[in-house]
Structure 1
């Protein structure tokens, strides 16, 4: 049976979307091609009709997940005053809901350590998306020279992502919650020990 070009594009997009979730849940090497294709409702044999290699799918799935995160941040703050945008992004990021749902969360804390061990081509693709994230965050910092805004955006992103990694390592108890609170304090510039609403109560998981 011959399929239309639109059908192939839709199928390709479905594979990438499913793979982006499963890779964030299981890790870059925690799930095979056969399982990824099964998740998308397809056979293993159809894989190479869409991708040249497993690496190609991994790179595309990572890019999809990171693009979704960046777009979600844009939508979150588009109607907010400039001075509230960066803190709003950070506050929405450092939550129990995000910690407990890596499959639909930010790809960097879920997969960054693995990507650092991949080949240069994969790292380059990942780094390009990471730079886009940083530029988007820098855009949310008003009245600051661009170089300073980029530096602040890098520090904010590193703190957010590092906090989430440590919180996931710690599990889902009080210790993990304290790590989220400490990271939020560091990013938002609030006094240590002051509990924020977002840290106390898990909102509905954000789909990235």
Structure 2
């Protein structure tokens, strides 16, 4: 029995991973059940053994995507020096590597524009995850002694998401990389991270 449950959980995880990749790259409309199941190496008929509907899949895929974002934030802001952690988070988030791999990056740049059209449960996960990300930045700023850390964190997150969104929308990759570099530098300067540690 445990082996069957374990197999079912692994299969569900594989479907969610494929759905998360598709959504990061093509938005929620990029999820067609038949194509998704084929990419996961499964039959279309098996979909309903794991999800009640396409909307149910979208809700769980959003949750899955933000697990990766939480891991990114925790890796950089989970301990140690707040200034170094925040600086490294900005570098990682606005990196050339994530520019080229939208299927593995934070879902905020790719999905922010369509949140209002997502199923209600997905919107809840999206909003909660965005707040957690912003709170992580605010805690780091607070630890650095920055006044009004919550407001500055909201602005910093918006700048990071916007910078990556615009860089991905730029057809000239060299220009996109320059744009990300300029955003990294400007954001670090504005947050006081360019000062000597």
User: TM-score if structure 1 supplies the norm length?
Assistant: 0.81
Question: What's 2:109 paired with?
Answer: 109
The 10-residue stretch of structure 1 (161-170 or 178-187) with the greater mean CA deviation from structure 2: 178-187
Structure 1 runs not aligned, ≥5 long: 191-208
Contact 2:62 2:122 in 1 (8 A): no
The 10-residue stretch of structure 1 (169-178 or 154-163) with the greater mean CA deviation from structure 2: 169-178
Question: What's 1:75 paired with?
Answer: 75
Question: What's 1:95 paired with?
Answer: 95
The 10-residue stretch of structure 1 (128-137 or 162-171) with the greater mean CA deviation from structure 2: 128-137
Contact 1:23 1:31 in 2 (8 A): yes
Contact 1:87 1:187 in 2 (8 A): no
Question: What's 1:46 paired with?
Answer: 46
Contact 2:98 2:105 in 1 (8 A): yes
Deviation at 1:82, TM superposition (A): 1.9
Number of residue pairs matched by the alignment: 188
Question: What's 1:176 paired with?
Answer: 176
The 10-residue stretch of structure 1 (33-42 or 168-177) with the greater mean CA deviation from structure 2: 168-177
C-alpha separation in 1, matches of 2:155 and 2:20: 26
Contact 2:55 2:119 in 1 (8 A): no
Asked if 1:136 corresponds to 2:128, the answer is no
Deviation at 1:150, TM superposition (A): 2.1
Q: Relative contact order: is structure 1 or structure 2 higher (C-alpha 8 Å, sep ≥ 6)?
A: 1
C-alpha separation in 2, matches of 1:173 and 1:75: 28
